[in-house]
Structure 1
Amino acid sequence: MLEQLLIFTRGGLILWTCKELGNALKGSPIDTLIRSCLLEERSGLASFNYDVPGANYSLKWTFHNELGIVFVAVYQKILHLLYVDDLLSMVKREFSAVYDPCRMDYSDFDDVYRQLRLEAEARAEEVKKSSKLGARNVGKKQDQVQKAKYNQDGKRNGGGDLKSDGGDGDLGKGNVLGNGHVNGGIYVKGVKSKGGVNQKENLGSDNGAFDVNKLKNLRSKGVKKNDTVADTKGSKAEPNKKVTKKNRVWGEANAPAKLDYTDPVAENGDKQVNIMPVEEGESMMDQEEVFSSDSEDEEDAQAGSDTKVQTKSKGWLPSMFRGFVGKANLERTDLEPALKALKDRLMTKNVAEEIAEKLCESVSTSLEGKKLASFTRISSTVQTAMEDALVRILTPKRSIDILRDVHAAKEQGKPYVVVFVGVNGVGKSTNLAKVAYWLLQHKVSVMMAACDTFRSGAVEQLRTHASRLQIPIFEKGYEKDPAIVAKEAILEASRNGSDVVLVDTAGRMQDNEPLMRALSKLIYLNTPDLVLFVGEALVGNDAVDQLSKFNQKLADLSPSPFPRLIDGILLTKFDTIDDKVGAALSMVYISGAPVMFVGCGQSYTDLKKLNVKSIVKTLLK
């Protein structure tokens, strides 16, 4: 049974809801659908599942794009209602016929809805019965075929008489039977051989059982031609075993000395490493980037001049109307060529194929049935719709102002904690130092926490950054629990009055469950204010796998019923990709988290904000 059926405009005005159902929905499934699906260009999905404690709903929807109306049906996830799609289609057709933008009351639509629901339920029941009847008929036909196969003339295919089998129960010549016999030979361990000889013991005999392919397979597995039985008794010298490197055992008394040569200590206890503080100027985060489209305007002007030349040579009317739509309303077949070209263009810009397909499906859903303006090309309409969709996706849904949140945490007497996570080798430590440099320029006191206790040299690397930036660092060495190290670092920051704690973690692949469990424990135990995923701008399809599995593992391995997921994204190596900027779109689409920082160089100042307009223009160029 349906829990709710709702009709509202794209502006959020509720036009009609089914009073007959009268069920109060638990949670806010409609709001979540709008926020997580419709506003993030996921309207091309077949359905949406709303799962919160005490409420498990499935939602299906359809649009009337010309009128700007949305139709949503809500039902229990455990129920598989077959008539929902049919009912939504009929409700859409009937309500569109009576819709008036100036009208606010549609209480007379209740009777129409009841009739439509009865029709949809009856139709679904008929389909269900016919499918069961068809399955029974198919089963009966299969039984009849089997009986005919075994009963025809009392014989089996390719075999002798069922009744006269020689008394040994072998029903058919050449068949392997349950008693181990094979008509015309002997069956030994699944290998049929001629004359009752096992082929495994007769590879070199002259009775026709020799198989060259088997000999080749044996040679490929290391069986040599001159090997004899005596070799297995130890007459032949054993080959030299490969020497493997032994794993280092930490914390034992007989362990070798600590391999830490980055900080030699003098006899008086003072460190001898002299690292000059850094002076690199203003961070690029505080510089407003002006996006210029002069080059595109020049291209458009050039294209316009080319069009004029063509109109002179080929005539004004044919060129003007070539490629224009001739239908009142757009259909899916009209949109497919333009959408395919857009999908290919997005994929060449490093957008993951799965994301490009979903985006095109969402744009198609938003344009299907819409009336096209006069003298408007389908390609330009699709391009505009895609541009609007990309801007909505890349624009942050919630405001994350780190400087504001830092001052708010300072007023509460606690440090603001940022945890940097990501896969191996993406540049977490380097970009953590860039963020620290930017915060220092805004008069914010920063402390680093060296919680990468797994990778050799990670603590020394972070210590070098801290020395250059002249900021404190909290470290406990290697082979320690990173969750405990982070907790102690936060306590130390509270004691010494640091405003921000930047927590560096070990790089880990999304499939490494032990390391992901340790990361989940760190986040659960310390409840950071911001979890930043550091990812490369070079990745394409792997961006989807990395972020989705990171979030999934953090959710599955967290002991909390409301697990903490990724809050923001820091894209690194952005200066190496030219126009292949699709990883930013893939990451934001799959996680819903905004791109907060963009690393674009090797110095501390090379940290930027994401220019949404520039990214969208580059993707569609």
Structure 2
Amino acid sequence: MEEIDIITTGGIVLFKWGQGKLRGEPINTVIKDHLLADRTGESKAIVENYMIRWLSDNETSTIIMVVHVKTIKVDYIDLFIKEMMKKFKEQYLPNKTIVKSIMNTTVEETLKECQERTKQEKANKKMRKFEETEKGAEKAMKLKKAKGESKKKEETIIVGEGENKTYKFDGMKKQEKPKSNGSTLSKIFAGFNGTRIIDEAESLEQAEKIEKMLIEKNVNSEIAAQIKSNIQTLLNGKKVDTFTLRGTVIQGVTEVLTRIMTPTSPIDVAKEISEKKANGDVYTMVFLGVNGVGKSTSLSKMACWLTSLNYKVMIAACDTFRAGAVDQLAVHAQKLGITLYEKGYDTDPSAIARNALKRAKEDGYDVLLVDTAGRMQGNDALMKAIAKLVHSAQTDLVLFVAEALVGNDAVNQLTTFNRYIIDYAPNKQSKGVNGIILTKFDTIDDKVGAAISLTYCTGIPILFVGSGQHYTDLKLLDIDELISTLLK
């Protein structure tokens, strides 16, 4: 074992144990290329000469990462990571602190325990045939699936029967403004007593407390600085007590975030669809992003919402790369009673999008939703391909799908996707990505700062958020709710 790191999901290193200095920066590479970008459920990666394995924990918002030389087989590593996470939580949760000497001892003892347990288990284990092993069974399934998929090349129109359900989307309506319970602010202002006029020094002190709190919740430092300046201006020379102080801070935060999060040109999807429908045309939406962020699920939620508004919807299956992608959409289409246009796997996605649009126009559909394969922004060929697809479908709305707990790499991803779509537009007049869908919004508690930063750094608005596993768990972004969540 070369190195063991325990980090927060925000990137703060809580503990490091190692035998020596690693060559290069394998940990940073994994964080950038896998944890922040891919999020497909992977738990290992090879970086140069190292194998890195990791395990995340939602309760502590931490990740344990273990590094060893890739040419050395470490049989006990999975067991070790699980045991270490368990022991780390026992030490960390009571006081949210780590005593390095104790943790060093814990690491060494756990290594010995796992080595002995694995050695004993191997001694008791009988030899199995390859097809009986997990890897053998997995390979057999892949071969079976590939054989079945190779036959699917013809154009197929699948009309889902539906489940005769009525879907209600309360989150697509303007909600009553939520009230922050102010628990975070109460802690910050615990030492503020009485009523008095705030001078310049104290206004700066109170504003800096808010700035620190926002940065701890993943808000971009530039945004936090803007809010600090706004709050300082509002407080300076003002007569306040604890109650009015809290209200002034909420006002300062709200003014800046509302300015950042409100799009300069509001997008009303339902209105735009109606306008195209009135002209006898089809409204096309393309969903794109990196692997594993929930594009197909978000598309299905969007399809459900649009059908609840009585629009006639067709889905185009243009993810012809990922095994099972077309079948996954077929299941959603069947449940929702929506038409799916597909031509199987290993076919040109742009051609599928173009033919699906032609068919949608011929058959009188109102909306075409285009699913795409996930891709990393550094792959030039795949990025050019997605730009070609967007323009082949004569897209009206390009939606970038990202997880709510995003980092700086997501900003780079979105910026790159946007640039390729603009640069490779046939008429050089494309507006690029129009909006963002944030998935898993219900899992981030008050760590919404990174989502705010995504819009601030790119200028592209968050239009929708996914907040669950049901088809109706899609809603419009409510800025008031976002601010309330940030300050709760």
TM-score by length of structure 1 reads 0.49
State how far apart, in whole Å, the 2-side matches of 1:480 and 1:463 are.
17
- What do the CA deviations read for 1:343-371 (whole angstroms, capped 9, x no partner)? 332233233xxx2x212443466688899
- What do the CA deviations read for 1:69-93 (whole angstroms, capped 9, x no partner)? xxxxxxxxxxxxxxxxxxxxxxxxx
2:292 corresponds, among 401, 425, 450, to 425
* SS of match in other structure, 1:519: helix
Question: Residue 269 of structure 2 aligns with which residue?
Answer: 402
State how far apart, in whole Å, the 2-side matches of 1:298 and 1:550 are.
36
1:283 corresponds, among 169, 172, 181, to 169
- The question of whether the paired residues in 2 share the 8 Å contact of 1:449 and 1:503 is answered with yes
Q: Tell me which amino acid in the other structure corresponds to 1:259.
A: A
1:413 to 2:280 alignment? yes
1:469 corresponds, among 327, 333, 336, to 336
Structure 1 unmatched runs, 5+: 1-220, 223-244, 249-255, 312-318, 328-332
**Against the structure 1 CA distance between its residues 384 and 274, is the aligned structure 2 distance closer, same or farther, given a 3 Å change threshold?**
closer
Q: Tell me which amino acid in the other structure corresponds to 2:176.
A: V
1:615 to 2:482 alignment? yes
Larger of the two Rg values belongs to structure: 1
- The question of whether the paired residues in 1 share the 8 Å contact of 2:198 and 2:237 is answered with no
Matches within 5 A, 1:334-483: 337-351=205-219, 355=220, 357-363=221-227, 372-375=236-239, 384-483=251-350
1:525 to 2:392 alignment? yes
1:511 to 2:378 alignment? yes
Question: Residue 9 of structure 1 aligns with which residue?
Answer: none
**Against the structure 1 CA distance between its residues 602 and 370, is the aligned structure 2 distance closer, same or farther, given a 3 Å change threshold?**
closer
Is the deviation greater in 489-498 or in 377-386?
A: 377-386
Q: How far did residue 552 of structure 1 move?
A: 2.9
- What do the CA deviations read for 1:540-589 (whole angstroms, capped 9, x no partner)? 33332222232233334445433331111111111211222223312221
Question: Residue 63 of structure 2 aligns with which residue?
Answer: none
State how far apart, in whole Å, the 2-side matches of 1:615 and 1:338 are.
22
* SS of match in other structure, 1:448: strand
* SS of match in other structure, 1:597: strand
Larger relative contact order (Cα-Cα within 8 Å, sequence gap ≥ 6):
2
* SS of match in other structure, 1:259: helix
**Against the structure 1 CA distance between its residues 299 and 431, is the aligned structure 2 distance closer, same or farther, given a 3 Å change threshold?**
same
Q: Tell me which amino acid in the other structure corresponds to 1:341.
A: K
1:541 to 2:405 alignment? no
**Against the structure 1 CA distance between its residues 456 and 278, is the aligned structure 2 distance closer, same or farther, given a 3 Å change threshold?**
farther
Q: Tell me which amino acid in the other structure corresponds to 2:167.
A: G
- What do the CA deviations read for 1:518-539 (whole angstroms, capped 9, x no partner)? 1111123333110011111122
CA RMSD of aligned residues (A): 4.0
TM-score by length of structure 2 reads 0.61
Question: Residue 484 of structure 1 aligns with which residue?
Answer: 351
State how far apart, in whole Å, the 1-side matches of 2:446 and 2:276 are.
39
**Against the structure 1 CA distance between its residues 338 and 527, is the aligned structure 2 distance closer, same or farther, given a 3 Å change threshold?**
farther
Question: Residue 452 of structure 2 aligns with which residue?
Answer: 585
- The question of whether the paired residues in 2 share the 8 Å contact of 1:543 and 1:586 is answered with no
**Against the structure 1 CA distance between its residues 259 and 411, is the aligned structure 2 distance closer, same or farther, given a 3 Å change threshold?**
same
* SS of match in other structure, 1:478: coil
* SS of match in other structure, 1:535: strand
Structure 2 unmatched runs, 5+: 1-70, 73-135
State how far apart, in whole Å, the 2-side matches of 1:500 and 1:274 are.
16
- What do the CA deviations read for 1:305-348 (whole angstroms, capped 9, x no partner)? x88xx96xxxxxxx544xx5445xxxxx8766445433332233
- The question of whether the paired residues in 2 share the 8 Å contact of 1:452 and 1:506 is answered with yes
Q: How far did residue 460 of structure 1 move?
A: 1.0
- What do the CA deviations read for 1:265-302 (whole angstroms, capped 9, x no partner)? 9xxxx99x9986262631333455334427449997x9
Matches within 5 A, 1:125-140: none
- The question of whether the paired residues in 2 share the 8 Å contact of 1:387 and 1:620 is answered with no
**Against the structure 1 CA distance between its residues 339 and 366, is the aligned structure 2 distance closer, same or farther, given a 3 Å change threshold?**
closer
- What do the CA deviations read for 1:465-524 (whole angstroms, capped 9, x no partner)? 111112211111122221111111100000000000000011112222221111111123
- What do the CA deviations read for 1:352-400 (whole angstroms, capped 9, x no partner)? xxx2x21244346668889944425998666633321011212232221
